[in-house]
Structure 1
């Protein structure tokens, strides 16, 4: 526990490496994470998905289709397509994401080339489906977690959001469905449906890697006794509480609004605490993508 606490409190982004003042320990960790993520992704694609004659979503899905149809290596087609879309849509990425993405694209293609012959043949196609989704989700999750991207449909989705006002997640789903549908030209319906299952597994694993073991929830509470609830949250759940000033639009009554960020595992306990002390309290639970700073989180 002491080692974990010490690592958590260490500011790796502040530690400079002697050979380059701009290259910090955190940068080195991020580069190594991209390398590990790229190989996990490549193992998922080559060792399980292609070995089981399955497909994928996104640009790697197109690469797999080209491999099945024309024998074009996935490493080559993935590299070309991703660099082309990066050139077209580079302005949709921040400077940091752009730098890491430029490194990620050739790294994933290199990993795909190295692992090209690492195919695991099994008699049970569900093994390929589950473990393919698992490795791909872990790989992409690690890459995204440090602020990089795999370009591809991520950039297309951001472009669709910019010009067509389409939600990014819906755009990603739309592009993946197009790729999977095209996959019917080289795969059977059963293989395509198994690919959908692998995609679902990859998405869940990716979310787990990005959010961590204890994703956060933000809770807004409007109560007739905010001081009592704030004290209980602070002493029983050991979380800090922010009190915001508010008033009812219709009643014009002044109200204190409680705002607290907790671990997802503590949510049910918080709900029980609120219900036991003010069953008329108005409670809104929000998903939290990221939390910065300590503040008793």
Structure 2
């Protein structure tokens, strides 16, 4: 077999393994979310946000099972996603929604695990967040609201977050009439906890940050960061607009858990250093691996 054929075979094998891995984690995420809905939220008359929340409302006021509404209400967003975002996204979304629908169908008569509203809020929010977070982290979607928000954002002067918030305000307002104001407020709190949990699951506890440091002691600060934090730094060259002086700027990328130690190092060497911290969505390549600290 030629080298080119071997490479193609290797790439194909990696692609298949990637698809299988994605499907497994989307399935796990859907099962976890389904359990959170059927064993925690529904028995306590609370809802999730988005299309899932609307499906829960409709299943409550009609004899139709939740699993049916989950598929029917999300189908339009599947077609929108297929046309506007892409085939891979749409297929992953459809698989996730079907997996969630099947999970809720099998767990429809599962025994509730909590009967206290506050416990339901906390554990319901965490369970939903873990399920949705696992799915999002592996390229899947369990609710079509995000798809709608992404598409509307291109035509209206609102962000994705603002559109999702507006949709959820309407859904929770309807929930106040169906389940009562108190349960609607509990539902909003559950959604907030789920949102924060999703953020942790998707980004991880070691969320990345970057920092620009302008100081007259850049060499000492850079050496201390390398020795005490185990992170490499990059020197950038800048010029002061007012003074016209050449300045050496330190750029360093580190985890959120290392932020406090980073600030302590800078404060100890130069308490007057000018620093700028920013969130980093992703880090790839280079020599980012953390060094051993001696």
| TM-score scaled by length of structure 1 | 0.88
1:76 aligns with 2:100: no
Local SS of the residue matching 1:118: coil
Distance 2:179 2:58 in 1: 12
RMSD of aligned C-alpha atoms?
Answer: 2.1
> Contact between 1:40 and 1:139, CA under 8 Å: does it hold in 2?
yes
> Contact between 1:134 and 1:202, CA under 8 Å: does it hold in 2?
yes
* Structure 2 residue ranges without an equivalent (≥5): 1-7
Local SS of the residue matching 2:238: strand
By how many angstroms is 1:49 displaced? 0.6
Give the ranges of 4+ consecutive aligned residues of structure 1 lying more than 4 Å apart after TM superposition: 14-17
Distance 1:149 1:123 in 2: 29
> Contact between 1:218 and 1:260, CA under 8 Å: does it hold in 2?
yes
After superposition, the C-alpha distances for 1:59-107 in whole angstroms (9 at most, x for unaligned) are 0000011011113221111111111122124344355433322321211
Q: How does 1:273-292 map to 2 (within 5 A)?
A: 273-292=265-284
Q: Equivalent residue for 1:40?
A: 32
By how many angstroms is 1:112 displaced? 1.6
1:147 aligns with 2:139: yes
Q: Equivalent residue for 1:27?
A: 19
Q: 1:122 to 1:21 in 2, by over 3 A?
A: closer
Q: Equivalent residue for 1:66?
A: 58
Local SS of the residue matching 1:51: helix
After superposition, the C-alpha distances for 1:30-54 in whole angstroms (9 at most, x for unaligned) are 1110000000010111111101111
Q: 1:15 to 1:291 in 2, by over 3 A?
A: farther
Q: How many residues align?
A: 282
> Contact between 2:229 and 2:262, CA under 8 Å: does it hold in 1?
yes
Q: How does 1:250-261 map to 2 (within 5 A)?
A: 250-261=242-253
1:159 aligns with 2:159: no
Distance 2:157 2:243 in 1: 37
Q: Equivalent residue for 1:178?
A: 170
> Contact between 1:51 and 1:128, CA under 8 Å: does it hold in 2?
no
* Structure 1 residue ranges without an equivalent (≥5): 1-13
Local SS of the residue matching 2:254: strand
